[in-house]
Amino acid sequence: MTVAPSLLVEGLAFAYPDGHQALFGVDLTVAQGDRVAVLGPNGAGKTTLVLHLNGILTGGRGTVQVAGLPVVKANLQEIRRRVGIVFQDPDDQLFMPSVREDVAFGPANLGIRGPELDERVAEALAQVGMAEYADRPPHHLSYGQRRRVAVATVLAMRPEILVLDEPSSNLDPASRRELADILLSLPITVLMVTHDLPYALQLCPRSVILDGGVIVADGSTYDLLCDETTMAAHRLELPFGFNPRSVAAPAG
């Protein structure tokens, strides 16, 4: 029996109402359990692509499937369970009086109650190392802790694919490392949109470069970051002093 990929995007093109064409025909396949970074300069279409994955944006050409299920209006409730998006600012996702209530919010909306809901909350908080903070107000947590709780709110839905938008932004080095350890431990498909090229190398064996609304490169993160011609052509710059050749490529 063939297992459907976690994500299958074919010919995805999209223009905003003002006429700006953001995507010109994106093809992307992500197998179950893969960790893939989406790289590219500002304005490349990365956010537009992400917003199509759970039907926040629709109406363009082409198709998107999650675990074989088409992203169409009739399937949106199930799609939004399967595709968990963690936005760049955790405060966009945390709005309840306590951490526990924030993490319970999504599953409760699916009608899950009682012991099963409690189990989901406990499991998700344990996965991100935040179990002891369940009764804290989110606004009392550090930024890095709030980012981890935001990840837990998505994990509580038990998604097929975890999509992260700039997960390392505004994190101090310790929080950045802690989040990396969490993401590497998750037995789940991960799609990570990031400008943080060392983070992409640490977490994602594969990367795609999106530029001008199309995928212009798809391969090993290590190989892409070492390809100076491709990097320069798409305005991707490594941090000063960072040499990917001095870092072991991530395991698949």
Mean pLDDT in the chain? 93
pLDDT tens digits, 208-236: 999 999 999 999 999 999 999 999 999 99
Distance of CA 246 to the CA centre of its chain: 26
pLDDT at 3: 79
Alpha helices in the chain (DSSP H): 46-53, 76-82, 99-109, 114-127, 143-155, 173-185, 197-203, 221-226, 228-233
Domains present along the chain, CATH in parentheses: 7-246 (3.40.50.300)
Sign of CA dihedral 100, 104, 105, 108: negative
| Higher per-residue confidence, 132 vs 245 | 132
For the cut 70, the answer to whether the pLDDT of residue 250 exceeds it is no
Q: How far apart are CA 21 and CA 49, in angstroms?
A: 12
What is the reported pLDDT for 214? 95
Q: Residue 184's pLDDT is what?
A: 95
Cβ proximity of 53 and 85 under 8 Å: yes
Q: In what order do the strands lie in the sheet with 7-15?
A: 21-30, 7-15, 61-66, 69-70
The predicted pLDDT at position 252 comes to: 59
pLDDT at 247: 77
At 58 the pLDDT is: 87
Residue-wise DSSP of 226-239: H-HHHHHHTT--PP
